[in-house]
Amino acid sequence: MSTPAPDLRADCGNCFGLCCVALAFTRSSDFARDKKAGDPCRHLDDGHRCGIHDGLRDAGYRGCTVYDCFGAGQRISQVTFGGQDWRDAPDGGRTMFAALPVMRQLHELLWYLDDTLSRRAAAPTHPAAAAAREHVAGLTALPAAELLALDVAAERAAVNEVLLRAGELVRRAAVRRPRNRRGADLVGARMRGVDLRGADLRGACLIGADLRDADLRSADLIGADLRDTDLRGADLDDALYVAQSQINAARGDGRTRIPAALTRPGHWAR
């Protein structure tokens, strides 16, 4: 029998504010102050809600508006720990906090595998992708101790083989000779209106790059750093392996086209 598919969208209402406690952050342009891992954010209230949620960016917590857990927070809270509040845990929640990044990585892999399975051009990889999805979904059901013992790097490497094959098929179906900019340093690059259909932009550093009106359909963006990337008017409608956190980190407007599975950030220009 198949393992039920985890919800891959963050549901803060069913999470005990884990990201506001488990994660560390350093005072910077993204965070107004330092916070150690395991220390509750000073703005987290007794109901596990952010007291400044509607004004995070104005208060200097832009990083909080970028982060996305792929639904790992509610999975850890409601499934792995059966609804137990970290405040009531014998270890003060330390095990829950350690399990969160592991679960997040597993959910991220499921997100990419779902993208693969939705692509007609990647059909030759669908059997392998479906098997990988079933395997990873099963891992998300493990008890906390087994989650923490997982070799997540090995799991990612195995899934990545499928994603690489699928990405190649999708990109070559879109463009005969797609550009290869994998891992490229494109900080501040001026690429307004550039045709990047089917481009391999895996792991590319696009911080502050100008991609206004660029065509990124079928481009592989897995792991690309889109912090402050200008995507106004850009077309990412069919881009591969785009995560919500990447979109949240970029700048866009009402003309920017994004994959249907993603949510348009509220801070984008209209």
Each residue of 105-151: pLDDT tens digit?
999 999 999 999 999 999 999 999 999 999 999 999 999 999 999 99
Q: Which residues of the chain have pLDDT under 50?
A: 1-3
pLDDT value at residue 5? 61
> What CA–CA distance (Å, rounded) separates 197 from 171?
8
Record: fold of 178-261: Pectate Lyase C-like (2.160.20)
Coil, helix or strand at residue 219: coil
Look at residue 6 in the predicted model and tell me its pLDDT: 74
Q: What's the pLDDT at 269?
A: 82
Which pLDDT score, from 0 to 100, does residue 270 have? 78
Domain borders along the chain are 80-174, 178-261
Residue 176: per-residue pLDDT: 86
| pLDDT tens by residue, 162-175 | 999 999 999 999 99
**pTM of the predicted protein model:** 0.94
Q: What's the one-letter identity of residue 72? A: A
Alpha helices in 92-213, H assignment, sequence order: 94-117, 126-139, 144-148, 152-174
List CB contacts of 183: < 8 A, sequence separation 6 or more: 202, 203, 204, 205
